[in-house]
Structure formats: structure tokens, C-alpha cells
Structure 1
Amino acid sequence: MFDLTSADRVEMSIQMMPRTVHIHSGLTPLQVRTRNHVAVEQVLARSGVEYFAVRGLDDRVPVIGVRADQRSAVVAALVDLARETQAYLAPILPKPAVRDVLMDGSEDTAWAKVADAKVLRMVWFRTDPTRSLVYGREYGCEIEFWGTARDGRLWGPRHNRVGRVLPGESNPVEAPMEKFTRLAGVGQDLPPVRTRPEMTVTLPDDITFPIDVVYTWVDGTDPAWQQRRAQVTGETYHAESASAARFLSRDELRYSLRSIHANAPWVRNIYIVTDDQTPRWLDDSRSNIRVVSHKEIFSDASVLPVFNSHAIESQLHHIDGLAEHFLYLNDDMFFGRPMAPQTFFLANGLSKFFLSQGRVPVGPIREDDTPVDAAHKNNRRLLEAKFGPVTTQVFQHVPYALRRSVMTEIESEFAADYALTMASRFRHTEDLSPVSNLYHHYAFLSGRALPGSVKYGYVQLAVPDLAARLARALERRDWEAYCINDAYSTEDQLAAQDAVLRPFLDGYFPVPSPYEKQG
């Protein structure tokens, strides 16, 4: 069962204001939301007033409805809660004239100022033991005062995801908390909530199908991997090629998994596709994470080993047990803020893509084309022949939303070109780029994908102001998804970059995921 025990409190300065902050180990956004919801629900239950969970419009904010004619009892219970737990108070509706009003809930003057509020918010500041990540106002629990009409029906003070008018008489029911936030998924072990039957219906935009995540990962410092690569290229393998001077592991995958644990807990299974490698820190004993060998997914294993990401990506849909809907990530991609699965898919199954301002160079493949541009041009040739339009735009380097059946169809439709890509051990001008470009155009042109929107950040490590860019990202935390790429770094830059990057990643994702070994 979800642990709702309290924790130590400390005084911290939050946005230049002194605040009491609760410290919790293993804290995630979903846990913060759950703690706040249960705190209010429990005190209302003890007071004997009627209440019900409401399906609000903000997935981070729990909402509880109460009858306006029970306001005195509700306020008395909330005052006791605020004094016992050092909660803060903010009026929500009517909207306050003063911006960012947040009052000490233990003071009578604060409650006098919200005496006529139709919606108010109880706020607790919570942090992890490192104190590098603080959750506050945006996860506070909102209490709505519902009026009663002459015919007995209840009228809500504002819109929600179900309806503002409810029958006056209704037997309370227990429902999964997952119904009330799209940030939760199955198997979260969250406590049930008390609500009304009308709030438990399945809505047209509710995603009920599973969504998996697939990574590709390689450890370039692994001597066995280096030797396999040298044998293919005909190079002479030397043991010193595995030295730290040549390769510097940043463990981006560790932090990317932390970002899923914190900000996309609705993910069902995670698959890490590797060339028979496993990160030393990874605990793959958990039932929802699995390391997958290239040998398991290549339709023609005779082409192995391969060292071409295009080739590996062309075979991802062959993973045994993979969901129809899945996200593909490189290990340099991160979920920067809590994200709902609706960011990537519609409830009817359509996938979303995120267009970039970048363009594929016009004309046929040239000798000076990058491997990426050459692959995009090959995609364009096939798509134009099948559908007619000429594709020019590329896509943001964010988690790619994919459907297994569409990838299977693409492999069949362009069998010859697809087979060449699969067998291409190193990037080649005949490659396709199946998941980063071809899939999204094909799915759109065949009516199975549409444009989406995400607040996206991209940091190239080989920039002179790297420290300033990362400091800004850590302070604002306003990217929903971001990528940290080191494609253009030179060996003499790696150590200095790592000295900046490691503290950034530790500060952004201080809470270990369940997929890390203890100790």
C-alpha cells in the first residue's frame, strides 16, 4: 500500500519566502499529488461531512467537492489540518486581485480572506532528502464548494472533465485514484478515493490501452563490444582503447529511467535493446523491465553484429510482448515534467509527432550529405512514390510515439529498402531512418498520426555556454521533454562537460528509480 506517513520538516526559502517544507524519501510528482489528496480526504471523513473526488482539468491538482451548505464544518476541519500539518492556503475562485496569494493556513486571518471563496487550495511544500527538488503550489489540493439548486441538484463552481451539474442524491462509491489523474497508470498501488458514480465513467479521451517504452543502448567502453566492432572494421583491437581517456560514460540511461519513474509513471513495460550488454547499475529483476538482445529481434540474425542505429531501429517492432503503442527513446532523451500519455497518443489509437523547423535538403543524395540527410532523402523517395507529396520537414528529438502494426506495414511495403537498412552494419547512404522520420510521415499520410505539441529543449554539449544553459534548465524546469546530445564533442572536452553535466542530472533527477541496484 502507498506509504502516507509524514516526514521531517525544515525551513527553506521558496521564491524568496520562508516556507515549512516536508521531506520525503523517493518522492515523485504522483506521490505528492496522492499525499495531498489523501490528507484532505481523511480530515473531511473524520469530520463527517459529505465529499467526493472531482475529475479536474489539471492532472497535477487533486480536486474534492463538498456541499456549500456544510461550509462551516468543512472549514473547521481544514483549519485543524492546516495547523497540524503546516499547510498554506490560496484562493482560486473568485480569482484573487493580488497575484500569487499564498497564506499561512494556521492563521485565522488567512481563512477570513477566503470566507466567500467558491474554490480554495491547500498547499504543502514537499521535497526529497537532497532538497534539490521542491513540489508546492502546483500540486495543492483544491476544495470546491458545490451549491444546491431548488430541485436538489448540485451545481459546481466551475467546469470539470465530467459535468458541473450532478443529481442531488447519490450513494458514494470507491474508485481507483487513477481515474482522477492522467499521470497515473495501472499498477501504481494508489489508495482508492471516495467519489460519486458520475465521476467514474470512461471518457472519450481516456487512454485505456498499454503504452511501453523502448530504448537502444550501447556501452562504448565495453572491451568485448569494441573487439566485435574492430573485427568487423578490420581494425586492430587494443585493450587501452577502453580507457577513460577514449570513452566517458555519463550514465544518461540511468537518469532517463528516473525521468520516466517521476514524470511518466503510466508506462507499462520498458525494453532496453542492446548488443548483449547490460548496464552495471541496472536492476533488471523487476517484471516490467527487460534487456533485449539484437539476436532476439533481427529477422535475419546473419547480418549481426551491427553498429548502425538505423538498422537496429528498423527491428524494434519485433520485440516479443511489445505493446501496439510504444515510445522510442535514445538514452539522451528525458521527460522534464509530468506528462500525460495523451501527449503522445489519442484515445482512438492515433500517434502524434512533433515537427521541427529543420528541413531535408532538396534534390537527390549528394556526396556531402550527412548519413541522416541521406536517410531522410531515401524516405522521401519512397513516400513520394506511394503517396504523392514531397516530404521536407524533420522531427524534434523527443520520445517518438510509434505503433507496432504500422511499423510492420512499413517493413512489408518497402521490403527491399528495409532489408538493406537492416543489413547495413554502419550508417550508409542507402539507409532509411525508420523511427525518427519515415514512420511519422507514413502514418500521417495514411491517416494514423497527426501533429502534436510539446515544450521541448535541446542542449548540445559542445557549446561554450553549456553551464549557463543547464543552470537555466534546472532553475526553470519548464521543458516537458528535452535532449542532451554530444554528437559534436571532442575527446578533450569530455571531462569538462562531465563536470557540468553530472551535477545537473543529479539535481534534476535526484530520486533513484526502481530499476537501479541498491548501494
Structure 2
Amino acid sequence: MNNTPVVPQRAGAPSRAADAARSAPVGSAGPDLPALREVLVDGGRRTAHVHADLTPILGRRLNVDAVSGALDEHGVDYFLVRGMDDRTPVIGVSEVDRLAALSALEKLGGVETCYVSQVLPRPPIVGGLTDASEAPAWTELYAAQAIKLTWFRADPTLKLILGPAYGCEIEFWKPDRAAGLLRSPRPNRMMRAVALDGTPVQVDEHRLTRLASPAKWHPPRRSRAEFDRLLPDDIDFPIDVVYTWVDGADPQWQQRRAGVRGESLHAEAASESRYINRDELKFSLRSLHLNAPWVRNIYIVTDHQRPAWLDLSAGNIFLVNHDEIFAAPDALPTFNSCAIESQLHRIDGLAEHFLYLNDDMFFGRPLAPQTFFLANGNTKFFLSQNRIPLGEKTELDSPVDAMIKNNRALIEKRFGRTLTQGSQHVPYPLRRSILAEIEREFPVEHEATMRSRFRSADDLTITYSLHHYYAFLTGRALPGRVNYGYVQLAVPDLEARLRRAEARRDWDTFCINDAYSTFAQLQHQMTILEPFMEAYFPVPSPYELRISG
């Protein structure tokens, strides 16, 4: 997300950018929150606008507003273009209006704290930014085919900084009067020419960036009719998110669990760390809010529990209790995630397409829904490099390996194919109809999993493995790729790994998992993990109660 990363720092420690900001405020919007702060980015000092509820898509919108407002004020015709990068807005202007547009933008640079750079032709110095308030900065741009105005925008902690990746690009389209066309100086995602005398139209934002949701209202943008069309890879169906969550420290939950006699066949399955609540859900929701704004509804499946910090007033987040979705009420209570996952398709109101997340999964940077789904409705899946041993189950198998072997038996019987890989711990793209079909196709094994109160070597693992292979072998899924990170908490170099993740921020998704830690290790891990989470996801989501005072 931080596409212009702050200088690497110890996880949880104040950044040099924050130190500089405290010592050198540039402007003020009130007694408590400076409007402008100085930040250290890529080794240089920049002036950043501070926003309390900053998100990547908000930064994109603010930059579009600034540029389009300046062009409107000076009577310059323009249109939003569907650019190649979903983060970077692009505005087209006729070459005929070049001088008027540059004059308007130079005036904007004089009153706004922002930076200007040449985009096309590509300059010899990559990313060279110049203060847009300095007149000489514009003298080299009067022949450029495309330029960029960049605002640095930061949250109040200065941990989230949006820079050039969200800057607004202005490109100059050349009139071709013989053909009656305006021709683009470079490729875009739609077309290289529009009608010379075309009438401007208002276009929904999701036509211009895949980060916007077609299910949510956003102010329309001035564009051309040529860009107001669905492409073959555009996704216009709703996508929801489902979490399963438990607070293992809840005394009532512990009492329910103690009252149920179950057997665990593997030490990992009985580990108390599987139920430890480190508020991962809060930070996972922050990552969702920041990096997947196209999600429609969020469902948290739980056993009559509610995080103390959770705010349901946003209108698109819902708590779902186990007894609302289980086909057999006498299978409850259950403490088996596989059993709970077998019933997710029964959530009332759930979209056909949804992402299933454990609360230790996070979106690391802005992602389009095409990361997980195809526009024809098919899902993607992400196989791990680990191989599941051939042969029957043994006592040496981990619970996951044993369950995948159960899946393997069903896939071999149904399709004659032998699966040997599990999945990466990334958000799982799922379809309700396929989950229901699996229940009908394998009723005995499916019901046995639903009735298994604790993880068992006889369970199926449906969301992690079976859905993906079944969907693939029935022509409804394809392998996908993500830049994925996995951090096991019980490692000696945990702090170094998290420091690397915070500094580079190059993971699409990542998982922070634990199954083996002792209580003493858990206490130490929290001193490292909590500051990392606050640094990586500093902006509260709409799903958190705000503490006033």
C-alpha cells in the first residue's frame, strides 16, 4: 500500500518521518491535527497532507478532484481515461487545450502543496518530482505528452503514506481531423482514440478503476461514452467476505468447550494457541477496508460472541451465529473450524461469490477483485508448494495432511485425479452454489465433518482444498497467483521478518499464523505483533467503535 515506502524502521518504533513531522509542522487545520506535515520518503523530505480516515481509493479521488476542479475552473475540456494502473487516475486533454490546461495546473500547483513530474516521454531520472509551486518546474513540461501531479497524503500517525502511485496523470491527446478522432499518446485499458467532437458523459467510478465497487455509489466522473462500457474481464457481480472468529479467552466459551467431550488426534489440534485472540480480526478488517474497497458485505461467523471493539452500524457488516447456519442443530456446539466452514453457504443473504478469511489473513496492498475471480464467475485458487504424501493416513500426518488425504479419496473416486497439494493461506475465493453442490455430491462425508465437534483426521477440509479442486475439475476454477507472505509466530527471527514486511509492503496478502507456541512465547509475541499491526494498518476501519475523549 505504501508505494513510496518510509525508510525502513524497527517494527512498532516511530519512523524518522514521524520524528521529522513532530519537529517541522508545515501548516495547521486546527488545534490538534496539522493539515500538512513533513515526511521522509525514499530518502527525501516531502510535504504531506494529513487525513484522519485516509485510504488508497480516497487518495485517488482527492487527486482527481483537485485536477478536475482546476480544469473546470479555467474552462478546460477534459475526460477521465481508463488507465493501466487502477491506483493512478488519468485525465485526457486535447492537444489544442495544452497551454490552457498547463496554465490551470500551474496555478493549482501554486496554491496546493504538490509535486509535478514528466511521465511521457519518460524522463532520464525516474520519479523526479519538483515542487509544483516553483515556476521553473513547468518550463520543461510544455512539450510533454503526459505529466503527473502528485500529492503526498498521510494518516495522522504518518505510517500510511500515499505518493506517486496515486498521483493524477494528465495526457495530451492529438486531434486527427481527417479521421474525426482524438488519439491517445499511449495505451490505456480501453481504446487509443475517441470522437473528436464527442460529448462528455458522467461515468461511474468503477468503469475507471477496478478498485471501486459497482455496488456502492460514488460521485460520477466526467469522461467519454467510449469509456462507459464493460470489458470482458470486468467484474460487476457482488463479492462478500466471510470470517470465522472465536474469542478463546471468553469464560462462557471455555465453559461450553469444557462441557463437550471430544478427542483430538494430534497435538496441534488441541493447542490452546489455535483459540488465542490477538485482535487479528480488527486489523484484518482494517486491511480489507484499505485494500479491497469493492467488497459488498462482511459476515463474521461466531459462537454467540462479539469483539468488544466491533461497531455494526456501518450497515454492511453482520454477526452470524453457528445456530443460524447449521443444518443439524444437534451438531452444536462445535469447536471445529472444518465443521463451521462446511456450513458457510447457508448464511442468509450471502452473495454467490465470496472470499473466506481466517482472522489471521490480511490484504497487504490494494488489490482488484480480478485477483480472486474471473469475470465469467469462475474462481481462482492458489496452490502451495508443499506436497501431501501418497498412501493411507497415518498417525504421523498433521491434521491438515490427513484431511487433504480425505479430500484426495473423494477426488480420485469422482474424477480419477490425485491431488497432492494444499492451498496457500490466502483469502479463499468461493461460490455458494459449489459449496452446496459438494454437500449434495458427498453427503455422508460432508455430514460427518459437520458433526465433528473437534478437528479430526476423518474431516474434510472444504474451503481450504476440496472446493478448489472440485471447481477446477468441473470447469469453474483456474489457478491464480498472488505475491504471498506467511509468517509463523513461533520463529526466533519474528521481529526481523515483520520489520521486513513493514518496510517493503510488497505482499498482496499475508498470513500470521500460530499453532505451537507456549503461553510465555505468546506473551513475548504480543509485544512484537501489536506494534507491527498498528504500524502496517494504522487507519481504523468503519467497523471499530471510536473512543472519544
1:87 has 2:114 as partner: yes
For 1:138, the equivalent position in structure 2 comes to 165
Matched, 1:498 2:526: yes
Give the letter aligned to residue 355 of structure 1: L
Aligned equivalent of 1:436: 464
Residue 218 (structure 1) aligns with: 246
CA distance in 1, matches of 2:53, 2:218: 15
The 8 Å contact of residues 39 and 158 in structure 2, kept in 1 or not, is answered as no
Among 307, 311, 324, the alignment partner of 2:335 is 307
Residue 95 of structure 2 corresponds to residue 76 of structure 1: no
Contact 2:152 2:164 in 1 (8 A): yes
The one-letter amino acid of 2:392's match is: P
Which residue is equivalent to 2:399?
Answer: 371
1:319-376 CA distances to partner (integer Å, 9 max, x unpaired)? Answer: 0111000000000000010010110001100000011101111111112111111100
Contact 2:174 2:183 in 1 (8 A): yes
Which whole-Å CA distance do the structure 1 matches of 2:356 and 2:508 have between them? 16
**Shift, 1:495, TM fit:** 1.3
What is the alpha-carbon distance in structure 2 between the residues aligned to residue 345 and residue 437 of structure 1?
17
Equivalence for 2:256: 228
Structure 2 alignment gaps of length 5 or more: 1-27, 264-271
Among the aligned pairs, what percent are the same residue?
Answer: 57
Alignment of 1:113-128 (within 5 A): 113-128=140-155
Question: Alignment partner for residue 123 of structure 2, among 86, 93, 96?
Answer: 96
Distance 1:91 1:285 in 2: 44
- CA deviation after TM superposition for structure 1 residue 170, in Å: 1.1
Aligned position for 1:402: 430
1-structure distance, mates of 2:37, 2:517: 42
What does the per-residue CA deviation read over 1:424-462, in whole Å, with 9 as the maximum and x for residues that have no partner?
A: 011112100000001001100110000111110111111
Cα distance in 2, alignment partners of residues 254 and 148 from structure 1: 52
Counterpart for residue 239 of structure 1? none
How far apart, in 2, do the equivalents of 1:248 and 1:160 lie?
47
Q: Note the alpha carbon deviations across 1:170-206, whole angstroms, 9 max, x for none.
A: 1111122222111111455432211111111111111
- The structural deviation recorded for 1:417 is 0.5
Among candidates 63, 74, 84, match of residue 36 of structure 1: 63
Q: Check whether the contact 1:246–1:491 (CA below 8 A) recurs between aligned residues.
A: no
- The match for 1:336 is 364
Q: Structure 1 residue 51 and structure 2 residue 113: aligned? A: no
- The answer to whether residue 194 in structure 2 is matched with residue 166 in structure 1 is yes
Matched, 1:264 2:292: yes
Matched, 1:18 2:45: yes
Q: Which residue of structure 2 lines up, in the alignment, with residue 253 of structure 1?
A: 281
Letter of the 2:135 partner, please give it. Answer: D
Alpha-carbon distance in structure 2 between the residues aligned to 1:141 and 1:489: 47
Matches within 5 A, 1:171-182: 171-182=199-210
Out of 413, 438, 441, the position equivalent to 1:385 is: 413
Other-structure match for 1:240: none
2:517 — aligned with what?
489
Distance change in 2, residues 1:345/1:234 (3 Å): closer
Q: TM-score, normalised by structure 2?
A: 0.90
Letter in 2 for 1:119: A
Q: Residues 502 and 196 of structure 1: is their aligned pair in 2 closer, same or farther, counting only changes over 3 Å?
A: same
Measure the CA separation in 2 of the matches of 1:457 and 1:85: 38
- Provide Cα deviations, 1:358-404, integer angstroms capped at 9, x if missing partner: 11111111121111111000000000111111111111000000000
Residue in structure 2 matching 1:183, options 185, 203, 211:
211
RMSD: 1.7
Instruction: Name the CA distance, whole Å, in 2 between partners of 1:120 and 1:451.
Output: 38
Structure 1 unaligned blocks of 5 or more: 236-243
Equivalence for 1:460: 488
Note the C-alpha offset of 1:108.
2.4
Partner Cα separation in structure 2 for residue 231 and residue 246 of structure 1: 18
Residue equivalent to 1:64: 91
Partner residue, 1:324: 352
Secondary structure, aligned partner of 2:426 = coil
Deviates more, 1:22-31 or 1:96-105: 96-105
CA contact (8 A) 1:177 1:191 kept: yes
Deviations 1:217-251 (A, max 9, x none): 0000011110011011389xxxxxxxx99986310
Once residues 327 and 171 of structure 1 are traced to their aligned partners in structure 2, the CA distance between those partners, rounded to angstroms, is: 40
Q: How many residues are treated as equivalent by the alignment?
A: 507
Which of 443, 453, 457 is the equivalent residue of 1:425? 453
State whether residues 274 and 515 of structure 2, in contact with CA within 8 Å, keep that contact through their aligned partners in structure 1.
Answer: no
Q: Deviations over 1:32-91 (max 9, x none)?
A: 000001100000011111100001111000100000111111110011111111211121
Q: Which stretch shows the higher mean deviation, 359-368 or 320-329? A: 359-368
Provide the rounded CA distance (Å) in 2 between the counterparts of 1:514 and 1:12. Answer: 26
TM-score, normalised by the number of residues in structure 1 = 0.95
Contact preservation (8 Å) 1:325, 1:401: yes
Residue aligned with 2:447, SS: helix
Question: CA offsets per residue over residues 77-136 of structure 1, 9 Å max, x none?
Answer: 011111111211121111111222112212222212222211111100000111111110
Distance 2:277 2:244 in 1: 15
1:411 to 424, 429, 439: 439
**Could you say what secondary structure the match of 1:291 adopts?**
strand
Deviations 1:253-283 (A, max 9, x none): 0000011111101110100000111111111
Is 1:203 matched up with 2:231? yes
2-structure distance, mates of 1:234, 1:440: 29
CA spacing shift, 1:269–1:234, aligned 2, 3 Å: closer
Q: CA deviation at 1:518?
A: 1.8
Counterpart-to-counterpart distance in 1, 2:429 and 2:105: 43
Structure with the bigger RCO (C-alpha within 8 Å, sep 6+) is 2
Report the CA distance between 1:293 and its aligned residue.
0.6
AA matched with 2:348: D
Deviations 1:264-318 (A, max 9, x none): 0111010000011111111123321111011011111101111111111011001
Give the distance between the partners of 1:391 and 1:334, measured in 2 at CA.
27
Q: 1:86 to 1:460 in 2, by over 3 A?
A: same
